[in-house]
Structure formats: structure tokens, C-alpha cells
């Protein structure tokens, strides 16, 4: 990857390669379409058993660190070889870069490519990169969770490069090599710790469920009979209404919903069977929607089942849709893409700003909030709530996701009790001293 530093332009890009057996394999390619060696080996040895989207996220982390090194003319492999890694100023600049949208980063790269001879030196402080961005873009940043994911994979990639270098010390089998290996390991652990410390804390993450009133508003405008519904085609109205209702009612992921086959919708027993079908050769979609969690049954109430039946009847009238088994389709009958569902919610947000940050994943978070409320209402035991939540969401028993909702619920309860206590204290004070 030294060519990323020495070359005159940064042209790396991530492209999804579909193999003959149906495997979707993201690759980090150069300007000529050739995969870069180190990121390819790292991603395929560490993450190949994960979903294609996870591999792509990992490669974005690798691309970010190489892009950063290109911007500041850092020879990454030399830094790894010597164990010098990065200075404090460079770490601050890396953390700043991780917060920016890739479109803004690419504009910075393009600008520096044209004026590289005039822009020399490495970062001295965290604002160095921001000063080079157009004024209108200075305050635009990605979500805190996105920044955390990027820095997580930056650390993973640096750790892999460092462990490879450390192994070379151990191969020498001498006392001096052992000492150098020990020092190197401490430096590597130290730099990884510093990168992690510069990531956003959990408290900086914004609201994940619907803002107050947004869910009811979403259901009102997405209803096919609503005069505010932004779509004109009866089929599209019904399909989008089914998607919105099912996402809110079951907490399914977008990929799980689009991965459903007609046979997965059991109208008699009223459930959807969520199955893992990664790298399905019969799926014509380049970016294949797939389940990231365990297989499970998503129960449906009678109204959601009838809505699904109504949608199926409309789907059966599209000739192209009858030629494959994927449940949700476009107007032309092709399997519906991930980007189509993303555009569905984007259209709703653009037409109705009062929906806030309504996305398919917002529906999943909202389902968990609703489940917590329901568990409190019926007095469900905490261990039963945890067990049922894990099953219905398809999480592993070792997953830390349930703990996030328990923590959020605990905070909400603590806030409520604190306010009640304050009210009680103020009331007693007022009774003792009428002047207050």
C-alpha cells in the first residue's frame, strides 16, 4: 500500500465483487481495478465469515487510515515497521477525519491532489483538516456511531499490521529480538488505546427511536388512503404501507424484510420466517439483503397478516414478480433493493420534516422501546424480558445489544424517579414555609 503515499492521486474505492458461487465480496481497489494486497488479506482472513456489509465496513476503516496517511504524506508501513506509529497531532487529525462524510473527505483529497506541491507537512492540531474544507461543510459530521465503527476497524487493521510486524521479531529467536518485540507490543497497545479514546462516547449518541409523535405521523401519511401519501401508484402505496407496518410491528431489519421469500410468509400460523441466505446465487441483487442475526419466527397479528395477504394479491398481478420467489418487489416485478427502501423513508422525511430521523432502523429501535413499555405494563420479570427480547430480535445470548436497551430504560426510570423525588421535596418545603 506504499503506492497510496507515493502516488500523485488517491483513487482507492470499494467495489462489491460477485463470485460464481454467489458470494458477495467487497474489495478495496486501486484506480485500475486491482485489489490492494494488505486490506484484502486482512478483510478476508478476519471478516470473510461475516456479512458482506460487515466486510465493507471493515474495508472503509482500512481505506480511511490509508487515505489519512496519503493526505499527510505518511508512509504507514514504515511507521508500522519502526513502531513509531502516529504523533498526538496526527491522532487528533485522524479522529477529525473519521467524523466527516466520505463525500467531504473525497473533495478534500481532490483539492489536495491539485495543489499538493503547495500543501506540505503533517497535521499539527485537530483543526488542520477542517480549515481546508469549504466553509459550508465545516459543521457537517456523520453520526457518532458511524465514527465509532470507523475507528473500530482502523484499530483492527492497525492491530493486524502490528501483529504481523511483531511476528518478524519473534522469528529471529534472540534475546535482543525478544526485548524489541516486547517494547513493540507495548507501543502497539498504546497507540490502539489512544485511537479508541478519541472515538465518541456512548453518551454522545443521539436519539435512536422516533421523536415524540413521529410514529403516529408516519403511520398517518404512509396510509394508502391518506391524501398526504406522497406516492401515486396504488401498488407502491400498498407495498410501502406493508413495509412500514411490518417494520414497526416486528422490529425486523431492512435486510431481513427484503430477504423474505413468499414461502416465508405463513398466512395460516401468522408469522414470517426469517432465514439466513447469504450469497444466494438466485438473488439477482448485487447488494444482497440478508439477515445479520439468528434465524427466527417473527409473529404477526391478524391485521398485519391480512395486510400481507392484500399485498400478495397485488404482487401476483405483476408478471415479472411471478417468475421469482422474493416477497417484496418493485413496480416492474424485480426484487426490491436495499436502496429502494432507503429512498422510501427518505421520501417520507423530505415531504414530512416532522418525522425527524425516521429510518428502517428507527422502527427497530422503536419496537424495543415499545417492548420495554409492554414488559413494564404487565409486570414481566427482567429475566423473561431479556430472554424474549433476545429471541424476537435474533440476537446471540452473548450480544451486548439487549444491555443497551436495559441501560436506556434504567436511565428513563431513574430520571422519572428523580423528578418525582424533587416534586415531593419541593412540596414538603412549600408546606413548611408558605413564603417559598
Q: What is the pLDDT of residues 59-80, one digit of tens each?
A: 999 999 999 999 889 999 999 9
Q: Which residues 6+ apart lie within 8 Å of 38 measured at CB? A: 1, 62, 161
Give yes or no for a contact between 77 and 1, defined as CB atoms under 8 angstroms apart. yes
Residue 354 CA to residue 228 CA, distance in Å, equals 13
Strands 24-29 and 265-266: unpaired
Residue 380 CA to residue 377 CA, distance in Å, equals 8
Give yes or no for a contact between 222 and 244, defined as CB atoms under 8 angstroms apart. yes
Higher pLDDT, 109 or 115: 109
Residue 361's CB is within 10 A of a number of other CB atoms, namely 15
Could you tell me the residue ranges of all domains in the chain? 3-204, 214-365, 410-436
DSSP 164-200: HHHHHHHTT-SHHHHHHHHHHHHHHHHHHHHHHHTSP
Higher pLDDT, 383 or 348: 348
Predicted local distance difference test score (pLDDT) of residue 137 = 46
Give yes or no for a contact between 106 and 98, defined as CB atoms under 8 angstroms apart. no
Higher pLDDT, 280 or 249: 249
Give yes or no for a contact between 199 and 148, defined as CB atoms under 8 angstroms apart. yes
Region 153-179: what's the mean pLDDT?
80
Predicted local distance difference test score (pLDDT) of residue 175 = 59
pLDDT-based confidence at residue 1 (cuts at 50, 70, 90): very low
Predicted local distance difference test score (pLDDT) of residue 142 = 84
Predicted local distance difference test score (pLDDT) of residue 11 = 78
Closest by Cα among 255, 221, 226 to 347: 221
Region 81-86: what's the mean pLDDT?
92
Residue 222 CA to residue 44 CA, distance in Å, equals 41
pLDDT-based confidence at residue 95 (cuts at 50, 70, 90): very high
Q: DSSP alpha helices (H): ranges in 352-400?
A: 360-378, 382-393
Predicted local distance difference test score (pLDDT) of residue 430 = 76
Length in residues, the chain: 436
pLDDT-based confidence at residue 366 (cuts at 50, 70, 90): very high
Residue 327 CA to residue 335 CA, distance in Å, equals 8
Which grid coordinates are listed for 70? 496519503
Strands 271-274 and 13-18: unpaired
Dihedrals φ, ψ of 391, to 5°? -65, -50
Q: Which residues 6+ apart lie within 8 Å of 45 measured at CB? A: none
Give yes or no for a contact between 251 and 392, defined as CB atoms under 8 angstroms apart. yes
Q: What is the CATH number of domain 214-365?
A: 1.10.443.10
Q: Residue 7: is its pLDDT beyond 90?
A: no
pLDDT-based confidence at residue 390 (cuts at 50, 70, 90): very high
Widest CA span in the chain: 83
Q: Residue 134: is its pLDDT beyond 70?
A: no
DSSP 300-343: --HHHHHHHHHHHHHHTT-GGGGGS-BSSB-TTSSBPPHHHHHH
Whole-number average pLDDT of the chain: 86
Hey, which residues does 266 pair with through a beta bridge?
271
pLDDT-based confidence at residue 131 (cuts at 50, 70, 90): low
Amino acid at each position: 500500500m506504499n503506492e497510496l503515499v507515493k502516488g500523485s492521486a488517491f483513487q482507492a474505492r470499494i467495489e462489491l465483487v460477485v463470485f460464481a458461487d454467489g458470494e458477495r465480496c467487497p474489495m478495496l481497489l486501486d484506480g485500475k481495478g486491482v485489489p490492494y494486497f494488505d486490506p484484502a488479506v486482512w478483510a478476508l482472513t478476519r471478516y470473510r465469515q461475516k456479512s458482506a456489509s460487515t466486510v465493507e465496513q471493515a474495508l472503509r476503516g482500512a481505506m480511511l487510515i490509508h487515505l489519512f496517511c496519503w493526505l499527510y504524506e505518511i508512509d504507514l508501513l514504515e511507521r508500522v515497521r519502526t513502531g513509531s506509529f502516529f504523533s498526538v497531532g496526527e491522532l487528533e487529525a485522524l479522529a477529525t477525519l473519521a467524523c466527516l462524510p466520505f463525500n467531504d473527505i473525497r473533495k478534500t483529497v481532490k483539492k489536495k491532489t491539485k495543489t499538493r506541491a503547495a500543501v506540505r507537512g503533517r497535521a499539527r492540531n485537530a483543526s488542520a483538516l477542517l480549515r481546508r474544507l469549504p466553509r459550508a461543510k465545516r459543521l457537517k459530521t456523520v453520526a457518532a456511531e458511524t465514527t465509532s465503527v470507523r475507528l473500530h476497524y482502523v484499530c483492527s487493521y492497525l492491530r493486524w499490521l502490528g501483529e504481523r510486524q511483531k511476528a518478524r521479531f519473534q522469528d529471529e529467536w534472540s534475546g535482543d529480538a525478544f526485548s524489541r518485540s516486547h517494547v513493540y507490543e507495548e507501543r502497539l497497545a498504546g497507540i490502539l488505546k489512544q485511537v479508541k479514546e478519541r472515538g465518541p462516547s456512548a453518551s454522545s449518541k443521539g436519539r435512536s427511536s422516533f421523536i415524540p409523535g413521529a410514529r403516529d405521523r408516519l403511520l398517518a401519511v404512509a396510509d394508502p388512503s391518506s391524501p398526504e401519501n406522497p406516492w401515486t401508484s396504488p401498488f407502491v402505496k400498498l407495498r410501502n404501507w406493508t413495509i412500514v407496518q411490518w417494520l414497526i410491528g416486528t422490529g425486523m431489519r431492512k435486510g431481513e424484510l427484503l430477504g423474505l421469500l413468499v414461502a416465508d410468509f405463513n398466512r395460516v400460523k401468522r408469522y414470517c420466517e426469517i432465514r439466513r441466505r447469504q450469497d444466494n446465487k438466485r438473488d439477482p441483487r448485487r447488494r444482497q439483503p440478508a439477515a445479520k442475526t439468528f434465524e427466527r419466527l417473527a409473529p404477526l397479528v391478524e391485521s398485519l397478516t391480512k395486510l400481507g395477504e392484500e399485498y400478495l394479491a397485488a404482487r401476483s398481478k405483476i408478471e415479472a414478480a411471478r417468475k421469482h420467489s422474493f416477497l417484496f418487489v418493485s413496480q416492474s416485478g424485480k426484487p426490491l433493493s436495499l436502496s429502494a427502501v432507503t429512498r422510501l423513508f427518505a421520501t417520507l422525511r423530505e415531504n414530512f420534516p416532522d418525522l425527524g430521523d425516521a429510518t428502517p432502523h428507527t422502527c427497530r429501535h422503536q419496537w424495543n422501546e415499545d417492548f420495554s413499555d409492554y414488559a413494564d405494563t404487565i409486570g414481566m420479570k427482567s429475566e423473561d424480558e431479556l430472554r424474549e427480547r433476545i429471541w424476537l430480535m435474533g440476537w446471540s445470548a452473548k450480544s451486548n445489544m439487549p444491555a443497551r436497551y436495559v441501560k436506556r430504560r434504567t436511565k428513563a426510570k431513574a430520571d422519572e424517579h428523580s423528578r418525582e423525588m424533587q416534586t415531593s421535596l419541593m412540596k414538603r418545603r412549600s408546606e413548611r414555609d408558605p413564603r417559598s
